[in-house]
Amino acid sequence: MKTISFTNLRKTFPGGFALHDVTFDVREGEIFAYLGPNGSGKTTTLRLLLGVLAPERGRAEVMEDGRPLARNRVGFTLEEERPFEHLTPLEYLQFIGEVKNLGAANGRYREILEWLKIDGDARRPCGLLSKGTQRKLCLAKSIVGDPDILVLDEPLEGIEPETRRDIRDFLVSFARGSRIVFITSHNLYEIESFCTAFGIIVDGRLLGRWGMEEVRQGHTSLEEFYLERTRNHGKSLCSH
């Protein structure tokens, strides 16, 4: 059983923002959406999970049957990430494959570029590509080597509708069986259409995690559920 586990995770920054003892799990087969306003702690949580930041206390772990999963089995992209400007898309994916110790056959670089409709730009320097194409290329990087877990920070931002649909379909297919997708997004309507579970974080505090089926119990939409929970959080803070 593969899991992403956050246990009493805490991180503070100059200026006062803190991630407060965040604890929850994401289980295999789930497409988990991590929701919250800008500056709420979503990207900080992802960076702690990926080892880009070190926690003050607590743990962020990717596990399989109680043991740490190899780092090269986790694919990821962060929101501000950009491909190397001087490389072409094909060279960029080949570089990622070399980092992961993959051969040309195992990397499937051209197949990935074709699927994301980047193959027409395969030999142009990445620095000359549009922002949307660069975002697609960062997603392409995350699936090189067919990982078991995808950690994606706003992967649909800045991408045209047709490709967004293709990406959603891919993520649904990817998560079937024993794999995990962990995704952040601001688009609640889009998330509701394909994610299976979600958590809400506000001001560095996790409000909870829920299955998507719980949204339908007394709520018309994920947006209504989200706004109700975040409003109640604000009222709770004001009462202290």
Please indicate, yes or no, if residue 240 is contained in any of the structural domains: no
Per-residue pLDDT of 99-144, as tens digits, reads: 888 766 556 898 889 888 888 888 899 999 988 889 889 999 999 9
Those residues with Cβ within 8 angstroms of residue 42's Cβ, 6 or more apart along the chain or in another chain: 34, 35, 36, 153, 184, 201
Please indicate, yes or no, if residue 58 is contained in any of the structural domains: yes
Residues 133 and 65 in one domain: no
Please indicate, yes or no, if residue 54 is contained in any of the structural domains: yes
Q: Which domain holds residue 133?
A: 84-147
- pLDDT at position 237: 44
Please indicate, yes or no, if residue 125 is contained in any of the structural domains: yes
Residues 1 and 65 in one domain: yes
Please give the tally of structural domains in the chain.
2
Residues 57 and 90 in one domain: no
Residues 102 and 60 in one domain: no
**Under a CB-based contact definition with an 8 Å cutoff, are residues 108 and 76 in contact?**
no
Residues 65 and 88 in one domain: no
Please indicate, yes or no, if residue 175 is contained in any of the structural domains: no
Residues 7 and 67 in one domain: yes
Q: Per mean pLDDT, which range of 154-158, 175-179, 194-198 is the poorest?
A: 154-158
Say whether pLDDT at 236 is over 70. Answer: no
Please indicate, yes or no, if residue 172 is contained in any of the structural domains: no
- pLDDT at position 238: 41
Residue 167's H or E segment, with its range, is helix 161-175
Residues 41 and 3 in one domain: yes
d(CA 76, CA 150): 6
Terminal C-alpha separation, the chain: 41
Say whether pLDDT at 232 is over 50. Answer: yes
Give the model's confidence band at 91: pLDDT under 50 very low, under 70 low, under 90 confident, else very high. Answer: very high
